[in-house]
Amino acid sequence: MKALVKAKAEEGLWLQNEPVPEIGPGDVLIRIRKTGICGTDVHIWNWDEWAQRTVPVPMITGHEFAGEIVELGRDVTDLRVGQRVSGEGHLIGKTSRQSRSGQFHLDPETKGIGVNVQGAFAEYLRLPAFNVVPLPDAVPDRIGAILDPLGNAVHTALSFNLVGEDVLITGAGPIGIMAAAVARHVGARHVVITDVNQTRLDLAGRVADVTPVNVATEDLDAVRSRLGMRQGFDVGLEMSGNTHAFDQMVEAMVTGGRIAMLGIPPGKSPVDWNRIVFKSITIKGIYGREIFETWYKMLAMLENGLDIGGVITHEMPVADFAEGFQIMRAGQSGKIVLDWD
Ligand code: NAD
Ligand code: ZN
């Protein structure tokens, strides 16, 4: 089968032939139709320090996918051949206290497809049946291929009650933009999204009913008072991984504000803890998706009018993958979807 492989411990990815994976009794084999390129895949392409430390070579990359089941392991009874599916790319263990108490997303033994185990940028993917999520008719493959990052957005956005609240999102990358659409969908009052990249702010304004703010040129406080907020934002969703953005968020919050942090800062970050303490701010770190609560909520919202389709700015055949990665690296795109048919 064709697969996009980290074949050598150097910059790049290679489209090459690999054996079709053999499935175990509890697995399914999925024929991949569409995949999404993630920032993680770009790290692996670049072969940066994190990738060198984390990814064994050779490795089939990719973890955002939609496809169709073509084979069932002998113990799998609740799925069927021909079913359209996506799935959770975090493979969890069953022995930790967190898993055994049903908090699968907190399992410290979690492994990621396309990072620690062979991934989804391939014609066929082996996945434990436990991880499979069937796609409703209302969710086409192109959206099915980006449920992993939409799930990050949903998990973060639903961490705190947003109904009637003023919400600040820092970072208008694909995940920040989708979180803005979710915040609007569930009934936030004002949703403000910040970035320093005007292309992405323009995209945010087209995809979701939000107020985009370019913090390189605009004053966030002025926007806040223009919108009629007295004290500040009630809820913050940090989706940039940028230390300045986080600082600005803490500054812009009300006392008693709540912050959910998805963005991954580059290292230890200098934070003014005084402000966090005296403002009584609650901070929650977010990793991945709640397994499987996020998936149920996300699919229900998609079936009930949540429209994030506009965040996909490019779709191309997998043969053009190098161009797709180039566009991603330039930071001028939303989601890029590769077509495997
Ligand atoms: P992205 O890199 O595409 O988007 C980040 C955006 O932040 C960019 O548009 C960038 O211009 C913007 N930004 C930079 N400086 C800023 C500033 N001072 N103020 C406001 N915005 C600023 O990333 P993405 O794919 O949308 O993911 C969002 C973040 O979430 C990333 O940090 C990513 O590493 C992280 N992530 C975390 C998890 C998790 O499980 N915790 C999963 C996926 C992604
Ligand atoms: Zn991803």
Summarised one tens digit per residue, pLDDT across range 23-62 is 999 999 999 999 999 999 999 999 999 999 999 999 999 9
pLDDT beyond 90 at 203: yes
- Tell the residue nearest (CA) to atom 36 of ligand 1: 263
What is the rounded average pLDDT for all residues in the chain?
A: 97
- Residue 270 — pLDDT band, cuts 50, 70, 90? confident
Distance 180 CA to ligand 2 centre (A): 18
In this prediction, residue 268 carries a pLDDT of 84
Mean pLDDT of all residues in 239-243? 96
In this prediction, residue 267 carries a pLDDT of 85
Which residues line ion ligand 2, judged by CB < 5 Å?
38, 148
- Tell the residue nearest (CA) to atom 35 of ligand 1: 263
Max CA separation in the chain (angstroms) = 62
Mean pLDDT of all residues in 84-107? 97
Indicate the top mutation candidate among 63, 146, 177, 239 to test ligand 1's pocket, ranked by most ligand atoms within 8 A of CB: 239
- Residue 266 — pLDDT band, cuts 50, 70, 90? confident
Contact in structure between 192 and 168 (CB atoms under 8 Å): yes
Please write the tens of the pLDDT for every residue from 286-323. 999 999 999 999 999 999 999 999 999 999 999 999 99
Give the three-state DSSP class for 58. Answer: coil
In this prediction, residue 271 carries a pLDDT of 85
CA distance 238 to 245: 8
Domains observed in the chain = 2-151+290-339 (3.90.180.10), 160-285 (3.40.50.720)
Assembly ipTM: 0.99
Least confident of 245-249, 271-275, 313-317: 271-275
pLDDT beyond 90 at 230: no
User: Residues enclosing ligand 1, CB less than 6 A?
Assistant: 39, 152, 170-176, 194-197, 200, 215, 239-242, 244-245, 262-264, 286-288
pTM over 0.90: yes
Which alpha helices (DSSP H) does the chain contain, by range?
Answer: 39-46, 49-54, 97-100, 141-144, 147-157, 174-185, 198-207, 220-226, 243-252, 273-278, 293-303, 321-330
Q: What are 96's two structure tokens? A: 């930790």
Indicate which residues carry an active-site annotation: 40, 43
- State the ligand closest to the CA atom of 37: 2
- Residue 269 — pLDDT band, cuts 50, 70, 90? confident
The closest-lying atom of ligand 1 relative to the alpha carbon of residue 152 is: 42
pLDDT beyond 90 at 101: yes
